[in-house]
Amino acid sequence: MEPNEQKQGRLDIEAIRQELAGQGGKRYWRSLEQVADTQEFQLWLEDEFPHRKTLLEIDRRSMLKVMGASIALAGLSGCRGAFLDQEKAVPYVKQPEELVPGKPMFYATSIPLCGYGVGVLVEQHEGRPTKIEGNPDHPESQGSTNSIMQASILSMYDPDRSQNVSSAGEISTWEEYEKVLKEALAKQKSKQGAGIRILTDTVASPLLAASLDAFLEAYPAATWHSWDPIGRDNARGGSQAAFGKVVNTTYNLAQAKVIVSLDSDFLVSGPGHLRYSRDFADGRRLEVTGGSMNRLYQFESFPTVTGTNADHRWAIKASDVASVTAAIAAALGVASDAGAAPVDAATISKIVKDLQANPGTSAVIPGEGQPASVHHLCHAINEKLGNNGKTVLHGPRVDFGPANHLQSITQLTEAIKSSKVDILLILGANPVYNAPADLDFGNAIASAKLKVHHGLYFDETSAKCDWHLPLTHFLEEWGDVRGYDGTLSLIQPLIAPLFESKSHVELVQRALGNAEAPFNTLKSSYATRLPGKKWDIALNLGVIADSKPAEVAISVSGTAPSIPMLRVSGPEVILREDSHVFDGRYANNGWLQELPKPLSKITWDNAIHISPRMAQEKGIESEDEVELEFNGQKVKGGAWVLPGHPEDSITVLLGYGRTAGGTIANRAGFNAYPMRTSSALSWGHGGNLKKTNHIFPLSSVQVHHEMEGRDIVRTGTLAEWNADPALTPETKHHFEKVSMYPDKVFDYDGPQWGMTVDLNTCIGCNACVTACQAENNIPVVGKEQVKRGRELHWIRLDRYYVGGLDQPTETVHQPVMCVHCEKAPCEPVCPVGATMHSHEGLNQMVYNRCVGTRYCSNNCPYKVRRFNYLNYVDNQDQFMESSMDTPMIPVPLASDKKVIIPGKVTHEKTHGRNLLKMVQNPDVTMRGRGIMEKCTYCVQRINDTRIEAKKQGREIKDGEVVTACEQACPTKAIVFGNVADKESRVSKLREDKRSYLLLEELNTRPRTSYLGRVRNPNPEITA
């Protein structure tokens, strides 16, 4: 070293002493270097590496030395695992018990749906959850699932999920957050926590409720608010009014012979719908019931799945439902005047007669969107009919927190506006997006001092908060939850949190200073209830046995509410939750977005639905852009003309038009929440619809709605079925089985696979479609590709209208997947023989052999073949471009780029892709571009079962092979099995008189058969 360099680095102690001595007052100094204010110190302040050399300072020889060393050291990275740290996972040195690589394991857990738990079994491959199935031990699921449950696995691997703690747009840490919170809470101690507000959505987890209660105990003046945009305020309010206390009303439809639904979509939405649909279907399974059927009367303000399954359906304005309820109540004598109902009195009296004829075996079900007074009246009606304790069950309240969410969020907003809120903890809810528009929560929130949002996504609310904390997905957390009837079930993680997330319980516990591991918190909370082995059993089952609370004996007190009998004219605007993205919380899920809506079959968008008559009057066609003015707000969206929609009303679906919902969510639809005010949460009067001169393209997967008199779905009434159990259609072809060849083409030993789909019990809920997508690694293709007609779903639910355009007399659903023709037209036309028949009767696709001529698809009369027009598996870029202007950067899974630049989008496309790859089922081949694919009858499951049976040296048992669609089906309308075995369920159903083959006249001899649909209309009602 040269002398002058040495000198530069030396401190002049004397100078420092003088410096310090010359100062008056207090002066804090950090180090001698600072005081000396040396050049060195300045450099250190400015530069992280003060003594590094710039390129200009390095001579050639040193440069070569450094470069040489760099290259040599770079080579060392190849020595990972040898003597450097090994980052990658290694195979088990000691194999864990029960785990066989390549064999999935199933664990029981629970999924909270709108807060209420449904038990599930999750398939896990080497620690990676891949598929969700229903838990047969759970009273709601009974082994079935719905689409949202199936798709929730994809949400877990969503690359748009928030992955870091962030504060004011900067990545931060939990420690930082907790430090800030601790300081804030310390200030609240003296005020008893008067400035603390906690906002949750629906909470049905006893552990979370207990944690929150503990928090409220520590800060007695703090308040717990709740807000769920699609909550059960009305149901709670109705029971409060009727019984003087909030009870949880559930229905035992297995016992119900006559059901009247008042704007309720109980078959596919709301807590308990899986159970209700199963019980409802069981009541019409003709081969089991021996010919008796329940009867459903449906009054509804929007065409719903439940409506399509009704025996009588009236499309009425939402505001008229109350009148109908009052009319029924009056006819039963539980309310005074009936007034003017939109349905004539004679019809009402016939319905009432039917109800009265079935005391104790009927049920009147009010819709969640209907006001508390309607719920109140329904309680009175059910009591009068003697249904309580039989078909209508009242149990103690299941959820926790404020009973009236609207009131609660209003109070919270007022408190914030009056600057009373110092700490606002938002757990899961997204009020900035979905609070009633008149509250102006989005702007009000700024008045709260410390705002913390804990959620799965960095959403609209996160953007307005000081802190965003990532929430665990339910597959990553420990917890508990109550089901629709109060049954307790446990939530156990299937995987360690992918990101730095924590559960709500953990967050609240940590705020209380309890840093206990979440598992311990949960276990200790069940220490008395589930001691010792009982805990293990409960964890294994997923459901806590006998935890369903006893019913409460209760009767309607108070007088029946008077319902204004005014029939308001002028268009009514109905705001409904979407059947798939719900209130918007599932909007970033590609599977749910691409899932066709049950009736309109629209994907990727919400729409403004109107009736054909209104469309005609206003000159509007589907896919016209329209402007809807309502509650002083204007939204623009695509119009959709929906047969069966009530007249004089306009329905808009909520949950779309997200601005910070994630890549997918932000692109889909328009936001209808700005029109939704406290006074018009479900509907309101005075919508003004105007056509603009633009087109709003909507991707609907079905454009043709009539059967054109063809023999496609066989339907009939119960009376017709009694007369002719085959439901022979008028247009049936006189088809004789004439063939030049011996009819022993598939006379092989071994099982012959086949399937039956009972159209009588199929409710058209879409669960099978998503289940198939999850099982068979079916990629989403995006709105534009759906518009082109290239969606890849292996099952499609065909929906046909019967009867008039305005009010179709019947709407039928028909799931169509590959029917595995014994004489498949697709097979002989393939030039390379890529589609062949297996000896077990499967029509197989050999992906590796397929060259993609698409001839097989052209020649398939059922059009169930799907073609990969583009590389849909890898080209998911359309979903990967982040449109979020937040610093949430997915850096999951062994990413080597952990550099985070706050405020900049550095969304690495490959990261998202890597994460999405985790969801794939390893048992099913991925299909690349240019390949034909279709339903395989879940051949991977067949093979798995066959191997197992072979190992055990036995035949495959009936019901042992369960296809994904069959497993998910809430009504068990799909049955799969061996048609060669005459004793199998599927054979017996094929022998049923109602059984028919789709397009039998083409002589394709499908292995999938359908069972005709039977309705049970009231013979007295002709309309």
> Does residue 932 belong to the site contacting other proteins (CB under 8 A)?
yes
Minimum distance of other proteins from residue 933's CB (angstroms): 11
**Options 182-190, 386-394, 721-729, 782-790: segment touching other proteins (CB under 8 A):** 782-790
Minimum distance of other proteins from residue 732's CB (angstroms): 12
**Options 76-84, 378-386, 446-454, 929-937: segment touching other proteins (CB under 8 A):** 929-937
Binding-site member from 128, 685, 732, 929 for other proteins (CB under 8 A):
929
Q: Report how far residue 306's alpha carbon sits from residue 261's, in angstroms, rounded to the nearest whole number.
A: 9
Contact 826, 857 (CB under 8 A): yes
Minimum distance of other proteins from residue 858's CB (angstroms): 5
Dihedral angle computed from the Cα positions of residues 759, 763, 765 and 768, in that order, rounded to the nearest 10 degrees: -30
Binding-site member from 131, 796, 972, 994 for other proteins (CB under 8 A):
796
**Options 136-144, 267-275, 758-766, 788-796: segment touching other proteins (CB under 8 A):** 788-796
Q: Which two tokens stand for residue 132?
A: 């969700």
> Does residue 702 belong to the site contacting other proteins (CB under 8 A)?
yes
Nearer to other proteins, 457 or 800 (CB): 800
**Which distant-in-sequence residues (6+ apart) come within 8 Å of 523 by Cβ?**
535
Nearer to other proteins, 557 or 731 (CB): 731
Contact 633, 625 (CB under 8 A): no
Strand partners, 690: 627
Nearest C-alpha neighbor of 812 from the set 700, 644, 991: 644
Nearer to other proteins, 68 or 828 (CB): 828
Q: Which two tokens stand for residue 238?
A: 């109705």
DSSP for 855-883 reads: HHHHT-TT---EE-SS-TTT--HHHHS--
Nearest C-alpha neighbor of 848 from the set 927, 749, 755: 927
Q: What is the DSSP letter of 469?
A: E
Q: What is the DSSP letter of 11?
A: -
1000 CB neighbour count, 10 Å cutoff = 16
Binding-site member from 523, 790, 837, 993 for other proteins (CB under 8 A):
790
Contact 914, 893 (CB under 8 A): yes
At residue 154, what is the residue type? Answer: L
Minimum distance of other proteins from residue 144's CB (angstroms): 25
Binding-site member from 24, 742, 831, 953 for other proteins (CB under 8 A):
831
Q: Report how far residue 380's alpha carbon sits from residue 365's, in angstroms, rounded to the nearest whole number.
A: 12
What's the full length of the chain, in residues? 1023
**Options 130-138, 609-617, 629-637, 827-835: segment touching other proteins (CB under 8 A):** 827-835
Residues 703-732 within binding reach of other proteins (CB under 8 A): 703-710, 712, 731
Minimum distance of other proteins from residue 842's CB (angstroms): 18
Minimum distance of other proteins from residue 728's CB (angstroms): 16
**Options 264-272, 552-560, 700-708, 1009-1017: segment touching other proteins (CB under 8 A):** 700-708
Minimum distance of other proteins from residue 706's CB (angstroms): 6
**Options 312-320, 522-530, 866-874, 892-900: segment touching other proteins (CB under 8 A):** 866-874
**Which distant-in-sequence residues (6+ apart) come within 8 Å of 137 by Cβ?**
108, 119, 541, 542, 543
Minimum distance of other proteins from residue 745's CB (angstroms): 15
Binding-site member from 464, 502, 865, 1005 for other proteins (CB under 8 A):
865
Minimum distance of other proteins from residue 934's CB (angstroms): 10
3-state percent breakdown (helix, strand, coil) of the chain, nearest 5: 30, 20, 50
**890 in helix, strand or coil?**
coil
Binding-site member from 867, 879, 996, 1010 for other proteins (CB under 8 A):
867
Residues 680-699 within binding reach of other proteins (CB under 8 A): none
Contact 906, 149 (CB under 8 A): no
> Does residue 930 belong to the site contacting other proteins (CB under 8 A)?
yes
> Does residue 968 belong to the site contacting other proteins (CB under 8 A)?
no
Q: Report how far residue 294's alpha carbon sits from residue 203's, in angstroms, rounded to the nearest whole number.
A: 34
Q: Report how far residue 202's alpha carbon sits from residue 233's, in angstroms, rounded to the nearest whole number.
A: 11
Nearer to other proteins, 219 or 872 (CB): 872
986 burial (CB, 10 Å; 0-12 / 13-18 / 19+) is buried
Binding-site member from 41, 251, 299, 800 for other proteins (CB under 8 A):
800
Q: Report how far residue 764's alpha carbon sits from residue 755's, in angstroms, rounded to the nearest whole number.
A: 17
**Binding letters toward other proteins, positions 1001-1020, x by CB under 8 A:** -x------------------
Q: Report how far residue 36's alpha carbon sits from residue 17's, in angstroms, rounded to the nearest whole number.
A: 9
**Options 168-176, 542-550, 865-873, 960-968: segment touching other proteins (CB under 8 A):** 865-873
Nearer to other proteins, 177 or 801 (CB): 801
Q: Report how far residue 216's alpha carbon sits from residue 198's, in angstroms, rounded to the nearest whole number.
A: 10
Q: Which two tokens stand for residue 641?
A: 């003309």
Minimum distance of other proteins from residue 734's CB (angstroms): 11
**Options 51-59, 119-127, 209-217, 702-710: segment touching other proteins (CB under 8 A):** 702-710
Beta strands in 633-779 (DSSP E): 633-641, 649-653, 683-685, 688-695, 699-700, 715-717, 753-758
Contact 760, 784 (CB under 8 A): no
**Options 22-30, 333-341, 830-838, 935-943: segment touching other proteins (CB under 8 A):** 830-838
Binding-site member from 830, 935, 962, 969 for other proteins (CB under 8 A):
830
699 CB neighbour count, 10 Å cutoff = 22
Q: Report how far residue 782's alpha carbon sits from residue 787's, in angstroms, rounded to the nearest whole number.
A: 9
Binding-site member from 525, 859, 914, 940 for other proteins (CB under 8 A):
859
**325 in helix, strand or coil?**
helix
> Does residue 788 belong to the site contacting other proteins (CB under 8 A)?
yes
Q: Report how far residue 103's alpha carbon sits from residue 922's, in angstroms, rounded to the nearest whole number.
A: 10
**Binding letters toward other proteins, positions 983-1002, x by CB under 8 A:** ---------------xx--x
> Does residue 816 belong to the site contacting other proteins (CB under 8 A)?
yes
> Does residue 504 belong to the site contacting other proteins (CB under 8 A)?
no
Say how many CA atoms lie within 13 Å of 918 toward its Cβ.
Answer: 22
Minimum distance of other proteins from residue 861's CB (angstroms): 4
Minimum distance of other proteins from residue 273's CB (angstroms): 25
> Does residue 931 belong to the site contacting other proteins (CB under 8 A)?
yes
Minimum distance of other proteins from residue 528's CB (angstroms): 56
Binding-site member from 336, 540, 559, 858 for other proteins (CB under 8 A):
858
> Does residue 828 belong to the site contacting other proteins (CB under 8 A)?
yes
Q: Which two tokens stand for residue 653?
A: 């679906």
Dihedral angle computed from the Cα positions of residues 92, 98, 99 and 102, in that order, rounded to the nearest 10 degrees: 140
Q: Report how far residue 488's alpha carbon sits from residue 777's, in angstroms, rounded to the nearest whole number.
A: 32
Contact 496, 517 (CB under 8 A): no
**Options 260-268, 339-347, 592-600, 867-875: segment touching other proteins (CB under 8 A):** 867-875
Minimum distance of other proteins from residue 592's CB (angstroms): 22
Nearer to other proteins, 653 or 816 (CB): 816
Q: Which two tokens stand for residue 648?
A: 């004089």
**Options 385-393, 858-866, 897-905, 1011-1019: segment touching other proteins (CB under 8 A):** 858-866
**Options 148-156, 253-261, 498-506, 798-806: segment touching other proteins (CB under 8 A):** 798-806
Residues 69-128 within binding reach of other proteins (CB under 8 A): none
Strand partners, 629: 634, 688
What's the distance, CA 520 to chain centroid? Answer: 29
Q: Which residues of this chain interact with other proteins, rule CB under 8 A?
A: 701-710, 712, 731, 785, 788-790, 796, 798-800, 814, 816, 825, 828-833, 849-855, 857-859, 861-863, 865-871, 929-932, 998-999, 1002
